[in-house]
């Protein structure tokens, strides 16, 4: 089963189903800006906010990274995980240039199974192979409490709904 989103009117098909409230986070291996593989174990015992997006090279993705970076400071027991297909070098360069230090950038450069398992892999259209824009909030025990697959990839996620879910933990 696939989900449908758009990119400024262009239909895009997303593989699988976005993880949702009540689901447990699937295990993953993603690459950080130090070229080290990381998974759920590295973030054990902390609430998690996944800001998932196609690429930092787009204005909406850059906006979402900045927004979540500013807000996550209010939640000392949470970690912001920013996931895209961008190379770790590009992620690090972008965050350094923008002064964004409150999140962990993670790349699916070595393995797209994260995108498949989390239900965010765009499988058709001009953005095939990238992540759809989504936000997932999970508690310290890796239980999903909130998720949003943004209907049009050019639009921003509902920051307030995600922050409200995080605040409720």
Q: Is 131 a catalytic residue?
A: no
- Cα distances (Å, whole numbers) of residue 99 to 66, 92, 95, 103, 105: 9, 10, 6, 11, 13
> Which candidate in 14, 18, 61, 149 is catalytic?
61
Among 156, 127, 146, CA closest to 62: 156
Q: HEC states along 96-150?
A: HHHCCCCEEEEECCCCCHHHHHHCCEECCCCCCCCECCEEEEECCCCEEEEEEEC
Active site residues: 61
């Amino acid at each position: 089963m696939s989900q449908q989103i758009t990119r400024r009117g262009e239909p895009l098909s997303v593989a699988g189903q976005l993880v949702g409230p009540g689901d447990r986070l699937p295990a993953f291996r993603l690459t950080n800006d130090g070229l080290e593989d990381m998974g759920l174990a590295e973030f054990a015992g902390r609430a998690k906010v996944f800001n998932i997006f196609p690429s930092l090279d787009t204005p909406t993705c850059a906006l979402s990274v900045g927004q979540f970076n500013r807000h996550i400071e209010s939640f000392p027991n949470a970690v912001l995980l920013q996931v895209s297909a961008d190379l770790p070098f590009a992620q690090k360069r972008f965050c350094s240039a923008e002064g964004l230090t409150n999140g962990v950038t993670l790349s699916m450069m070595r393995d797209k199974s994260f995108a498949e398992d989390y239900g965010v892999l765009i499988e058709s259209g001009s953005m095939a192979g990238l992540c759809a824009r989504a936000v997932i909030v999970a508690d310290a025990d890796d239980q999903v409490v909130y998720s949003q697959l943004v209907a049009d990839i050019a639009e921003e996620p509902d920051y307030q709904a995600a922050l409200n879910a995080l605040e409720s933990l």
